[in-house]
């Protein structure tokens, strides 16, 4: 897949405060990258720089080969931006609102009308097309803002908390839409505090703290790196009479009983089938073998805490 977003040494300084500090990453076409980080970590500033809304103080970024500073207008055609707050014009009617933004993206009248209607239907807003946006609920406003960002069919979408303030059904509609967009080859950067959502949707996760990239990789990579080898749990129908070590000598057994074994392995693809084969040969009846769930939240908290600890250690070393 080709590289659609490229950021190299991206830095933004406001007066004396460095909001984004030498951020370097790439996002491939059709990929979803979740941008995680505490409040004030620099996620919004990063997205604003990538959307050509503000200019980097240092470094550069390209969207589909277009420089975010020198080709700013082209970049703003290429990207759709769901802002942190919906920021709608509440006295306007929904279709009129979308028509306004479509016109600013230079879409022909027919095209923008068709797309506006289709997208509103997709997000369950079809019946509210003629209503004023001031009459919309919080969730409807959020969906409307998403429709606005998608109206000109941008190749890249920056979504800042896309499902915040939504009820579970609406949130699912939006998540389905995001997955659908990825299926159609759109590239998405998802800024969110909703970690299960990030894990569900994102191909890769980037964690930033105080403007610096502290981790980047797939959810599994990050789990492996930060939480160690995955843990598996084996459950049997009857007690196993042999020694558990006889199954595989390279297992790191964490806990065991007559009917269960909990172990870690760095090579589950080879180790697990081998264990099952031996159990079968030994006549044991396997009830289940499953990986113990490890959430992205654990990874995230560990990362942020480690980074905070490192920072305070550096500060105390400096004081010495």
Partner 1 sequence: MLTDAFIITRREIRDSLRDWRIVAPIIILTLVFPWIMNFSTRVAINFVEEYNATIIPLRLVPFAMMIVGFFPISFSLIIALETFVGEKERNSLEPLLGTPVTDTALYLGKLLSAMLLPLFASYLGVGSYLLGLFLTIQYVPEWIVFFQIVLLTTMESLVMVAGAVVVSSHTTSVRAANLLASFIIIPMAFLLQGESVLLFWGQYDVLWYIIAALFVADIILIRTGIRTFNREEILAREIDELNFGSTWRKLRGYFSGAAGKRFSLISLYTQELPRLLRENQAAIGVTVLTLLIGGGLGALFAAQHPLPAEAIPLFRFNADAFKQQFTLPGYDFLPNLDTRSIFSHNVRALLLSALLGVFSFGSLALILLAAPMGLVGFLAAQAAPLGLDPVTFLAAFILPHGIFELPAAILATAFALRLGASMIAPPAGMTAGENLLRAFAELVQVFVFIVLPLLLVAAWVEANVTPQIVLWIYGR
Nearest to 210 by CA among 15, 6, 12: 12
CB atoms within 10 A of CB 307: 19
Which range in 89-97, 260-268, 278-286, 297-305 contacts partner 1 by CB under 8 A?
89-97
Count of residues near partner 1 by CB under 8 A: 30
Residue placing its CB nearer to partner 1 in the complex, 42 or 265:
42
How big is the CA angle at 97 (ends 93 and 99), to the nearest 5 degrees? Answer: 120
At 18 the three-state DSSP class reads: strand
Query: What angle, 0 to 180 degrees and rounded to 10, lies between the N-to-C axes of helices 296-319 and 219-227?
Result: 50
* One of 2, 16, 39, 106 touching partner 1 (CB under 8 A): 106
Residue placing its CB nearer to partner 1 in the complex, 7 or 222:
7
Residue placing its CB nearer to partner 1 in the complex, 14 or 282:
14
Residue placing its CB nearer to partner 1 in the complex, 51 or 192:
51
Is residue 158 within 8 Å of 79, Cβ to Cβ? yes
Rounded Cα distance, 70 and 114, in Å? 32
Nearest to 301 by CA among 231, 191, 202, 222: 222
CB atoms within 10 A of CB 105: 16
* One of 51, 66, 173, 187 touching partner 1 (CB under 8 A): 51
Q: Which of residues 21-50 bind partner 1 (CB under 8 A)?
A: 48
* One of 34, 41, 88, 198 touching partner 1 (CB under 8 A): 88
Residue placing its CB nearer to partner 1 in the complex, 151 or 171:
151
Using rule CB under 8 A, residue 186 touches partner 1: no
Q: Is the dihedral of CA 78, 82, 84, 87 positive or negative?
A: positive
* One of 105, 212, 248, 272 touching partner 1 (CB under 8 A): 105
CB of 37 to partner 1, least distance (A): 18
Interface ranges with partner 1 (CB under 8 A): 14, 48, 51, 53-55, 73-74, 76-77, 79-81, 83-89, 91-92, 100-101, 103-106, 145, 148
């Amino acid at each position: 897949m080709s590289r659609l977003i490229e950021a190299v040494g991206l830095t933004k300084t406001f007066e004396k405060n460095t909001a984004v500090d030498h951020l370097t990453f790439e996002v491939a076409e059709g990929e979803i990258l979740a941008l995680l980080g505490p409040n004030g970590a620099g996620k919004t500033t990063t997205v604003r720089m990538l959307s050509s809304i503000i200019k980097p103080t240092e470094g550069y970024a390209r969207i589909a080969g277009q420089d975010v500073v020198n080709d700013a207008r082209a970049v703003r055609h290429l990207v759709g931006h769901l802002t942190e707050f919906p920021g709608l014009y509440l006295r306007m009617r929904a279709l009129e609102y979308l028509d306004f933004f479509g016109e600013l993206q230079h879409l022909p009248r027919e095209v923008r009308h068709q797309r506006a209607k289709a997208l509103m239907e997709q997000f369950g807003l079809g019946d509210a097309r003629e209503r004023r946006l001031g009459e919309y609920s919080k969730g409807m406003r959020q969906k409307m803002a998403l429709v606005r960002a998608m109206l000109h069919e941008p190749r890249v979408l920056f979504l800042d908390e896309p499902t915040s303030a939504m009820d579970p059904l609406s949130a699912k509609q939006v998540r389905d839409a995001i997955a659908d967009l990825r299926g159609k080859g759109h590239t998405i950067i998802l800024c969110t505090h909703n970690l299960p959502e990030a894990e569900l949707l994102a191909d890769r996760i980037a964690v930033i703290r105080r403007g610096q990239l502290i981790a980047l990789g797939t959810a599994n990579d990050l789990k492996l790196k930060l939480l160690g080898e995955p843990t598996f749990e084996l459950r049997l129908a009857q007690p196993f009479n042999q020694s558990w070590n006889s199954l595989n000598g390279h297992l790191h057994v964490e806990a065991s009983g007559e009917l269960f074994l909990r172990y870690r392995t760095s090579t589950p693809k080879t180790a697990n089938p081998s264990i099952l084969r031996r159990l079968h040969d030994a006549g044991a009846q396997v009830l289940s073998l499953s990986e113990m769930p490890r959430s992205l939240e654990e990874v995230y908290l560990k990362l942020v805490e480690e980074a905070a600890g490192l920072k305070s250690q550096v500060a105390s070393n400096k004081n010495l």
